[in-house]
Structure 1
Amino acid sequence: MNEKFFNANFPKSADGRVSHIGIKRGEIANRIITVGDLNRAKLFLKLLDSDTAIFQRQSHRGFLTITGKYKGVPISIVGIGMGSPMMDFFVREARAIIDGTMIIIRVGTCGGIGKSNSGDVIISKGSFAVTRNYDYPIFENKMIVQDYEVKTKERPYNISKVFYGDEEICNLIQKQLINSGIPNSQIIQGLNATCDSFYSSQGRHDENFEDYNNGLIETIRTKYPEEAESLEMETFMLYYLAKCSTDAPYRSQHKVSNELKKDGEQKIKTSNNTQKGFTSRNSIRAAATMIAISNRKTNETIDPDKLNYLERTVGEAVLKVLLEIGLDEEHIGDDCVWNLKV
């Protein structure tokens, strides 16, 4: 970090750059695709309009932001890496520098634990968190584990309730995936399990650590027997933050507009969307879709050529979804990077 940041509560540089994703107002659009793999972000860059300037910036924390236009509409693609903390950095810091409603769609990969096969595309209509219970003892004698659990009702992993994505956006994703040529039989809407580890809380076994995760996938499926479909590490945080988001950006923008507006200008309208997973008090609408690259029940894994095809196909379908969703208010300004000449 080569520049001074101000305000310990929400650090920004002197020119307004947020601390971790490293961008400022006008460098990120309201409509966003977020991915974990930076190479996937670069693949989606190739789908953007070639006659519009494309902004790219990678922060010292590894976040990659790409902003341009798709069919004339401002779009950002943000590569964040893996895990809920990275999603938290991205969503909170992007929200701080964007006016109006944000639409965030995650395009990722996952392990399938339900009826999916490797190569299927899963749309997460909702997500729950699977996290290590750090109060659970580490036993030297494995024989007393079951006795302890019976007596205390403690379990080594916590499984949260479900937070839902935006129902309208999830349904639009399914429609566009079908339009793109992916068979409906290979598209599944279900629940996602977002885990705090790639290994322990996803039920992978490692003799180097006491993880107490034998039967964890079965436990997850028992709690959500009909709908649990995927394991990954980001979606729950996206959905949770979307649900936690407030109308503060609308109030802030309204205040500024009232100070600057001319006679006859309309006041900013807040969204009246009431889709499941999104209310008028929320300023973020979120959805997620992911390619099942492995089947955790059979150990089947995806062919690399099929993954390459699906990444591009799903990415293009999601870009089309972003075009279908109208926004009551968007971030505007002559200095926005998507308005720059090529």
Structure 2
Amino acid sequence: MKFQILNANFPKTEEGRVYHMEVKRGEVANRIITVGDTNRAKMFIQWLDKDTPVFYLESQRGFTTVTGKYHGVPISIVGIGMGLSMMDFFIREVRSTVDGQLAIIRFGSCGTIGAPKVGNMIIPSGAFAITRNYNYFSNGEDETSLNGEKPYNFTKAFYADPMLCKQIEKQLLNSFDEKEIFTGLNATCDSFYSSQGRQDENFRDCNSDIFKTITATYPNTVSLEMESFMLYHLASSSTSAPLKNSNRVSDKGNSIKAAATMMVFADRFRNEFISPEKVQEVQVIAGLAVLDALVETELSEVHPESEECVWNTNTSFNTFTLRRE
């Protein structure tokens, strides 16, 4: 797709398509499930209402957007890949193209350093970030440590929307035993390797005791992954929900409700990893639960009845056709 960008501050095309996701107003719903795996995003298509066209778009920057209806409620599923940056792109660009409140649930995978086991579900009540301290590695390890530098930095914790978390837990309990569902803090790491404590002899990572540091800093930590902190942080940093073609705002306070639930793929203490068969089993059960939780969430929506929204169009197009203009 060729873009003619009109604004370097927040790049959009003349028709309002954002730079990385390539979506415009009316192509993303107020209720969103975000996943890392684009194949997981496609999985949700089978559960969307059959009497409503399904919008599907793959951007050149690796984002996959699926929009339709579930039980009559407009829903979007967005595959974003991995990492803090991809979550930042996604939230900011969606916020700029959707009017009114947003409810966003991250549905993904994680590792655990606590009681949960492979195949269990985690609903993180909050998340903090762990980032590599580049200054620590600028010279010799001993020299930088003497200057008070530590190899990894920890942020404060930011928290999910408690009601959205309760909705997720309620739906998961329909299919999982309560002993298979855990809450607690999530450590969002800037690397799958170094800041998650994986040992790699090819690099000097100084992470052999990072699990001890995590539990000493945040004793309630149960999971490790790479996205939830940015979701919670930006939701907490969001301003009031914008209305189309207006200087007014729909509500005071934050315009984004955020929560997450993750399947445990890696048990770091027991050194176990989930099987492909178990992944397929758990993600179907949990995916349906997340959909049900999302449609029960109350929002101050603005444009669900607009004719410009893809879920209200009478156009019938193939589910897997790239819809680019």
- For residues 1-342 of structure 1, what are the structure 2 equivalents within 5 Å? 2-140=2-140, 144=142, 149=145, 151-179=146-174, 181-225=175-219, 227-247=220-240, 249-250=242-243, 254-255=246-247, 269-270=250-251, 280-332=252-304, 333-341=306-314, 342=316
> By how many angstroms is 1:253 displaced?
5.7
Gaps (5+ residues) in structure 2? 317-325
Shift of 1:50: 1.3
Instruction: Tell me the SS of whatever aligns to 1:315.
Output: helix
Give the secondary structure class of the aligned counterpart of 1:46: helix
Aligned-partner SS, 1:76: strand
CA drift at 1:248: 5.3
* Distance of 1:335 and 1:97 partners within structure 2: 12
Alpha-carbon distance between aligned partners in 2 of 1:194 and 1:116, rounded to the nearest angstrom: 17
Distance 1:330 1:293, change over 3 A: same
**Paired-residue identity, %:** 53
Q: For residue 324 of structure 1, what is the amino acid of its counterpart? A: E
CA distance in 2, matches of 1:310, 1:78: 19
Contact 1:99 1:253 in 2 (8 A): no
By how many angstroms is 1:234 displaced?
Answer: 0.5
Amino acid at match of 1:232: E
Instruction: Check whether the contact 2:242–2:250 (CA below 8 A) recurs between aligned residues.
Output: no
- Counterpart-to-counterpart distance in 2, 1:106 and 1:19: 22
Deviation at 1:294, TM superposition (A): 0.9
Give the counterpart letter for 2:268 in structure 1.
R
User: For 1:117, what is the secondary structure of its paired residue?
Assistant: coil
Preserved contact between residue 242 and residue 283 of structure 1 (Cα < 8 Å): yes
Measure how far apart 1:269 and its partner are: 4.8
1:76 is matched by which residue type in structure 2?
A: S
- Aligned residue type for 1:340: T
Determine which structure has more spread, i.e. the larger CA radius of gyration: 1
Whether the aligned pair in 1 keeps the contact of 2:57 and 2:65 (CA below 8 Å) is yes
Q: CA deviation at 1:323?
A: 1.3
Q: Note the alpha carbon deviations across 1:256-284, whole angstroms, 9 max, x for none.
A: 7xxxxxxxxxxx852xxxxxxxxx41001
SS in 2 for 1:92: helix
Query: In structure 1, what is the Cα distance between the partners aligned to 2:124 and 2:84?
Result: 16
Cα deviation code 1:29-88 (max 9, x no counterpart)? 000000000000011111111111000000010100000000000000000000000000
How far is 1:187 from its partner? 0.2
Q: What displacement does 1:331 show?
A: 2.5
CA distance in 2, matches of 1:248, 1:312: 32
Q: 1:253 to 1:326 in 2, by over 3 A?
A: farther
Indicate the residue corresponding to 1:260 in structure 2: none
TM-score by length of 1: 0.88
CA distance in 1, matches of 2:250, 2:158: 26
**Misfit runs of 4+, over 6 Å:** none
Contact 2:103/2:299 (8 A) holds in 1: no
CA contact (8 A) 2:131 2:190 kept: yes
- RMSD after superposition: 1.6
Give distance in 1, aligned partners of 2:241 and 2:135: 36
Instruction: Using the TM superposition, give the Cα deviation of residue 138 of structure 1 relative to its aligned residue in structure 2, in angstroms.
Output: 4.3
Distance 2:109 2:259 in 1: 14
Which ranges of structure 1 fall in alignment gaps of 5 or more residues?
257-267, 271-279
Which has the higher mean CA deviation after the structures are superposed, 44-53 or 324-333? 324-333
Superposed displacement of residue 157, structure 1: 0.1
8 Å CA contact 1:28, 1:98 repeated in 2: yes
